[in-house]
């Protein structure tokens, strides 16, 4: 398992041959021709008149009676964050746990995203949580989506989390009852139930997003978003065999991480596929392979935690004896750190560090661009597929099938960069500039509204002590202790990256969060404490720590082509997550549990 990935283009451009000024000018030119004055508001939500794009195509809706009962813990969200928390609470001996989700089953991201070709782009042995607890070793190094979804179900079964579940249910209001020390939860199913503790883990990339292309509402052909795949129309399954497309001209709009995975599968089966690209992704070697049974048999207890921690450490730039994962992520960890913590080497001046980082970036990007020339036969198409920006401007992608798809006669790449994207959609075609492409079907691989959980969007209003609204408490900036809780909103815990750690292997972050929340709730139960709430001083102190340690990434982001990483060119505010990185954060949390946990419980240490 420790063989380095095969690299067809192993060329590293010598540093002295890299002309940074020319490269910077090229990157600036490519960014400028994509910047749009409407920035993030160019998109439309898959709601209202476009609500059908967000409908669940997988589980028929079933009726049920409203609930008015009381549980000890309500977990909102049945993805890996919610499942991990449910599992850890169950391990801590809590019987009364209710899981709730808008979806028809567990899985979160992996429930909704079932498009052909879907895989996890993080190594499955580190990404898929609780493997040892469930007794499972993934079949592939990078697992297909269906295997991951089934694993989510297996976690729920292992920890008996189906018992009291409410699926197809959306919380519409949370109100703290100060007399009973309980939350009252209302839902879109007419429920009015109670819970002592509420945990929100509703994800940050759940709502499909559509481009605001003029005429989008006029299209008369078939259309859907990748996160609600219509297999009734396409036929086949996640492995391909989309026979319903055999006589169809299909358009895919979007070439991000989703587009890179789905385009090869649609390209195989459609009569003709038109790929509408605005910005090419970086597409590095994937090198997926089945799990070696001898390696699987050799694993000793504790192996998964060790591997997850090793991956996190390598990505975060910590010293490790061995890089256990050795893939495209760990090979480019230096470049990824720029996004979160900045460079680590403090022996050099900031200018020297920046120059070394920029050279390493250029070497990686040159290699990725050279791979395009190596794989794509038509030179003009190859030119369009080359990404011209710094490596971490967009989510890095990996595929051994994507670039190859453009060698097919029945696949056409249509570049839209000079037009800010697709120009117009008519009743039966897509227009880019003056050119019109008649199509039977449009598939939107245009991503998600990022950071929009029910709590943050206000779709799930939260009323704490005295009826105070959570979003009002956060009106001048996020106010939490460690990202988990806020004074005035007792017994309410949030999972996610805000004021907390972040990493590409986000299930690891969720796993630490779940263990932390379970430890706090367990301790509260041991001490017979009914209310867990940080003081305003503790919250203020954490807000200050996050602000003082914030790594200002705005200069880097300003050079990037637009995308959701930089709020479509507007730039993200610093200090959303804890900048020193996940490893110091996890150490800090462990120390806090040892020495300061009593403070949120109002008991003596
Ligand atoms: P993205 O937001 O990354 O990509 C959207 C795509 O749509 C971009 O290529 C964008 O172009 C294009 N687009 C948007 N508007 C237009 C327009 N008007 N005309 C033409 N093109 C347009 O969404 P994804 O679903 O690809 O990925 C979202 C995230 O989901 C990833 O970054 C990743 O975090 C996660 N993911 C993870 C996977 C995994 O394996 N772990 C797999 C898939 C996704 P432009 O770049 O120019 O804006």
Angle at 112 between CA 252 and CA 330, to 5 degrees: 80
Q: Please answer whether residues 307 and 325 qualify as being in contact, where contact means their C-beta atoms are separated by less than 8 angstroms.
A: yes
Scored b (16 or more CB within 10 A) or e, 378-410 reads eeebbebbbbbbbbbbbbbbbbbbbbebbeeee
Strand partners, 430: 425, 437
Q: Report the alpha-carbon distance of residue 9 to residue 25 in Å, rounded.
A: 25
Residue by residue, what is the 3-state secondary structure of 501-519?
CCCCCHHHHHHHHHHHHHH
Which residue has the least CA distance to atom 15 on ligand 1?
211
Q: Distance, CA 404 to ligand 1 centroid (Å)?
A: 20
Walk along the chain (605 residues) in steps of 10 and give the mean pLDDT of each run: 46 85 96 92 91 96 97 98 98 98 97 98 97 98 98 98 97 97 98 98 90 96 98 98 98 98 98 98 96 97 98 90 92 71 64 86 95 98 98 95 98 96 98 98 95 80 96 94 97 95 95 98 95 96 96 90 89 83 96 94 74
Task: Looking at the CA of residue 142, tell me the nearest atom of ligand 1.
Answer: 40
Residue by residue, what is the 3-state secondary structure of 319-386?
CCCCCCCCCHHHHCHHHHHHHHCCCCCCCCCHHHHHHHHHHHHHHHHHHHHHHHHHHCCCHHHHHHCC
> Which pairs count as long-range contacts for 179-185, CB under 8 Å and 24+ apart, including other chains?
181/490, 181/491, 181/530, 181/531, 182/70, 182/491, 183/74, 183/491, 183/492, 185/74
Cite the DSSP H helix spans in 70-172.
80-91, 109-112, 124-127, 131-134, 145-158
Domains and CATH numbers, the chain: 70-207+450-537+589-600 (3.50.50.60), 209-286+379-444 (3.50.50.60)
Helices (H) and strands (E) in the chain, counts: 22, 19
Cite the DSSP H helix spans in 159-256.
231-234
Q: Strand, coil or helix: what is 418?
A: helix
Q: Distance, CA 255 to ligand 1 centroid (Å)?
A: 6
Tokens of 432: 């880019």
CA distances, 13 to each of 10, 16, 24, 384 (Å): 10, 8, 16, 21
Q: Distance, CA 68 to ligand 1 centroid (Å)?
A: 41
Task: Looking at the CA of residue 34, tell me the nearest atom of ligand 1.
Answer: 47
Q: Distance, CA 184 to ligand 1 centroid (Å)?
A: 37
CA distances, 366 to each of 359, 370, 378 (Å): 10, 6, 19
Q: Report the alpha-carbon distance of residue 475 to residue 555 in Å, rounded.
A: 26
> Which pairs count as long-range contacts for 231-236, CB under 8 Å and 24+ apart, including other chains?
231/57, 231/114, 232/57, 233/441, 234/116, 234/269, 236/116, 236/269
**Best mutation site among 208, 253, 447 for ligand 1 pocket (most ligand atoms within 8 Å of CB):** 447
Task: Looking at the CA of residue 562, tell me the nearest atom of ligand 1.
Answer: 48
Sign of CA dihedral 509, 515, 518, 519: negative
Q: Strand, coil or helix: what is 210?
A: strand
CA distances, 143 to each of 151, 250, 266 (Å): 11, 27, 20
Q: In this predicted structure, what is the pLDDT of residue 344? A: 55
Which residue has the least CA distance to atom 5 on ligand 1?
446
Q: Distance, CA 322 to ligand 1 centroid (Å)?
A: 33
Q: Distance, CA 228 to ligand 1 centroid (Å)?
A: 15
Q: In this predicted structure, what is the pLDDT of residue 54? A: 95
User: Beta strands 435-438 and 429-432: pairing type?
Assistant: antiparallel
Which residue has the least CA distance to atom 6 on ligand 1?
254
DSSP 388: -
Q: Strand, coil or helix: what is 575?
A: coil
Going by C-alpha positions, the residue among 339, 284, 281, 306 that lies closest to residue 503 is 339
Instruction: Give the DSSP H/E element, type plus range, for residue 261.
Output: helix 257-269
Q: How many CB atoms lie within 10 A of CB 571?
A: 16
Asked if residue 255 has its Cβ within 6 Å of ligand 1, the reply is: yes
Task: Looking at the CA of residue 563, tell me the nearest atom of ligand 1.
Answer: 48
* Phi, psi (deg, nearest 5) at residue 141: -60, -45
Q: Strand, coil or helix: what is 540?
A: helix
Asked if residue 222 has its Cβ within 6 Å of ligand 1, the reply is: no
Q: Distance, CA 259 to ligand 1 centroid (Å)?
A: 7
CA distances, 283 to each of 34, 93, 259, 363 (Å): 20, 46, 11, 15
DSSP 431-445: EETTEEEE-SEEEE-
User: Beta strands 192-200 and 492-494: pairing type?
Assistant: parallel
Going by C-alpha positions, the residue among 107, 539, 62, 582 that lies closest to residue 310 is 582
Q: In this predicted structure, what is the pLDDT of residue 414? A: 98
Q: In this predicted structure, what is the pLDDT of residue 452? A: 67
CA distances, 1 to each of 163, 290, 297, 304 (Å): 38, 10, 12, 13
Asked if residue 421 has its Cβ within 6 Å of ligand 1, the reply is: yes
Single pTM value for the model: 0.95
Q: Give the burial class of 574: count Cβ atoms within 10 A of its Cβ; 0-12 exposed, 13-18 middle, 19 or more buried.
A: middle
Q: How far is the first Cα of the chain from the last one, in angstroms, to the nearest whole number? A: 45
Q: Distance, CA 394 to ligand 1 centroid (Å)?
A: 9
Task: Looking at the CA of residue 416, tell me the nearest atom of ligand 1.
Answer: 20
Which residue has the least CA distance to atom 34 on ligand 1?
395
Q: In this predicted structure, what is the pLDDT of residue 1? A: 41
Q: Report the alpha-carbon distance of residue 143 to residue 125 in Å, rounded.
A: 9
User: Beta strands 283-284 and 397-398: pairing type?
Assistant: parallel
Which residue has the least CA distance to atom 20 on ligand 1?
421
């Amino acid at each position: 398992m420790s063989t380095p990935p095969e690299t067809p283009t192993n060329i590293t451009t010598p540093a002295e041959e890299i002309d940074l000024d020319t490269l910077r000018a090229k990157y600036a030119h490519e960014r400028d021709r994509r910047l749009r004055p409407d920035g993030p508001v160019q998109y439309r939500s898959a709601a209202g008149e476009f609500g059908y794009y967000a409908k669940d195509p997988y589980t028929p809706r079933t009726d049920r009676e409203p609930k008015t009962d009381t549980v000890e813990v309500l977990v909102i969200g049945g993805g890996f964050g919610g499942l991990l928390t449910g599992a850890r609470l169950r391990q801590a001996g809590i019987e009364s746990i209710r899981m709730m989700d808008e979806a028809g089953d567990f899985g979160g991201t992996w429930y909704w995203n079932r498009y052909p070709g879907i895989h996890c782009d993080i190594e499955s042995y580190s990404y898929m949580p609780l493997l040892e607890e469930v007794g499972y070793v993934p079949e592939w190094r990078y697992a297909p989506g269906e295997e991951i979804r089934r694993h989510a179900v297996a976690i729920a079964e292992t920890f008996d989390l189906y018992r009291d579940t409410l699926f197809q249910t959306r919380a519409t209001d949370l109100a703290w009852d100060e007399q009973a020390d309980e939350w009252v939860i209302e839902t879109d199913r007419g429920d009015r139930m109670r819970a002592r503790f509420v945990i929100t883990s509703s994800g940050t990339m759940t709502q499909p997003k559509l481009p605001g292309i003029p005429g989008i509402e006029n299209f008369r052909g078939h259309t859907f978003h990748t996160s609600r795949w219509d297999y009734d129309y396409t036929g086949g399954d996640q492995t391909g065999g989309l026979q319903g497309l055999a006589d169809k001209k299909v358009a895919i709009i979007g070439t991000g991480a989703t587009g890179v995975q789905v385009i090869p599968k649609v390209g195989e089966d459609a009569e003709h596929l038109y790929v509408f690209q605005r910005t090419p992704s970086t597409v590095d070697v994937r090198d997926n392979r089945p799990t070696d049974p001898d390696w699987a048999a050799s694993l000793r207890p504790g192996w998964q935690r060790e591997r997850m921690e090793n991956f996190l450490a390598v990505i975060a730039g910590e010293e490790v004896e061995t890089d256990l994962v050795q893939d495209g992520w760990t090979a480019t960890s230096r470049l990824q750190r720029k996004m979160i913590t900045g460079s680590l080497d403090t022996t050099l001046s900031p200018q020297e560090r920046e120059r070394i980082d920029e050279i390493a970036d250029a070497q990686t990007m040159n290699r990725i661009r050279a791979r395009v020339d190596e794989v794509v036969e038509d030179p003009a198409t190859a030119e369009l597929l080359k990404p011209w920006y710094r490596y971490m401007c967009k989510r890095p992608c990996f595929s051994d099938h994507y670039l190859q798809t453009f060698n097919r006669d029945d696949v056409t790449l249509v570049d839209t960069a000079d037009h800010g994207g697709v120009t117009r959609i008519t009743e039966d075609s897509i227009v880019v500039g003056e050119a019109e492409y008649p199509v039977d079907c449009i598939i939107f691989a245009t991503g998600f509204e990022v950071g929009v959980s029910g709590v943050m969007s206000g779709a799930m209003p939260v009323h704490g002590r005295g009826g105070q609204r959570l979003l009002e408490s956060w009106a001048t900036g996020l106010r939490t202790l460690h990202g988990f809780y806020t004074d005035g909103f007792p017994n309410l815990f949030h999972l996610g990256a805000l004021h907390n750690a972040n990493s590409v292997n986000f299930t690891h972050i969720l796993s630490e969060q779940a263990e932390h929340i379970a430890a706090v709730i367990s301790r509260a139960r041991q001490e017979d404490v009914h209310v867990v709430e940080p003081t305003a001083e503790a919250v203020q102190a954490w807000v200050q720590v996050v602000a003082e340690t914030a790594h200002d990434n705005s200069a880097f982001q300003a050079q990037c082509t637009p995308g959701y990483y930089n709020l479509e060119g507007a730039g993200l505010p610093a200090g959303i997550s804890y900048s020193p990185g996940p490893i110091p954060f996890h150490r800090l949390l462990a120390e806090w549990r040892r020495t300061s946990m009593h403070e949120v419980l109002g008991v003596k240490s």
